[in-house]
Amino acid sequence: MTGRVEAVVFDVLETLLDLDPLGVRLEEVGQPASVLGPFFMRFQRDAMALKLAGDVADFTRTARQSLRTETKQALSDADIDYVMEGFASVQAFPGALPALRKLSEAGITVGCLTVGDPENTRSFLAGAGLESYVDEVVTSDSVGVWKPAPEVYHHSAKALNCEIDRMALVAVHAWDCHGAKKAGALARWCSRLEGEPGEVFLPADVRGEDLIDVVDGLLAL
C-alpha cells in the first residue's frame, strides 16, 4: 500500500466507461453521433442546475429530458428508450481493467463515484468486466447533491472507511478533480478527454495520459 493513499475512487462515465457506443444508437434513430457530446454536457449541466435550485436531479428523467432538448424534440419516446438502454452495454476504456487490478493488488480500496442508481452502476461495471475489482459503489443519490459539491467526496471517504486526505479521486474531468481537492481529497486527472485542465481549476496531484499512467503515478508516491 502507498504511504499516503488508502482508497481510490473513480468517476465512472467517460473515465472508466466509454460512451461512444451511444453515438451509434443515436445514428440508428436518425441523429448524428456528434449529438452525444452536447447531450452528455447538457445532462450534467441540467442536473447540477436542478440541485442548485434545491430540486431532485433524477438520473433517468434528467437524461431523457436533456436528450429530448438536445435533439430539438425530434425523438419519440421509443427512440429515447433505445438510446438510454445503451448505457447498460457501454464498455470499459482499455486501461481501466489493468488500472483497477494494480490498485487492488497493491491493497488499496477501490471505489466508484457516480450519479444515479447504485444497482444500475454495478450492472454497468459488471457488463464491462470491472466489478470484481470494485469494493464500493457510491452515488450522489446517497447524499442528495451532485458532484462537485464537497459533501459527495466526504461521503465517499466515509463509505470507503478512510479519512478524506487519504482518499484520491481519479477522473477525466478537471472540474471533478477540483471539487475533490476543495473537499480535502487528493486528485488524479487523466488527460484523455480534455487534453489540458485549464487555469481555473486546482491542479491535480497526479496527471497522466491514460488511467494506467495515473495509477502508476499514484503508486509511485
Report d(CA 10, CA 8) in Å as an integer.
Answer: 7
In contact, 177 and 207? CB cutoff 8 Å = no
Q: Indicate the DSSP class of residue 203.
A: P
pLDDT tens, the chain, 221 aa long: 445 899 999 999 999 999 999 999 999 999 999 999 999 999 999 999 998 898 888 889 999 999 999 999 999 999 999 999 999 889 999 999 999 999 999 999 999 998 877 888 898 899 999 999 999 999 887 787 889 999 999 999 999 999 999 999 999 999 999 999 999 999 999 999 999 999 999 999 999 999 999 999 998 87
Dihedral, CA of residue 103, residue 106, residue 109 and residue 110, to nearest 10: 10
> Residue 3: its pLDDT value, please?
59
Max CA pair span of the chain: 53
- pLDDT of 221 reads 77
Q: Assign residue 215 a region: left if phi > 0, alpha if psi is -120 to 50, beta otherwise?
A: alpha
Cell 440541485, residue located: 51
Measured CA to CA, the distance from residue 71 to residue 123 in angstroms comes to: 27
The amino acid that residue 91 corresponds to is Q
d(CA 162, CA 5): 9
Strand order in the sheet with 167-171: 136-139, 109-114, 7-11, 167-171, 186-190, 206-208
Q: How far apart are CA 25 and CA 33, in angstroms?
A: 8
**pLDDT score recorded for residue 67:** 97
The one-letter code for the residue type at 55 is: D
Residue 44, H or E segment: helix 36-52
Give the position of cell 451509434.
24
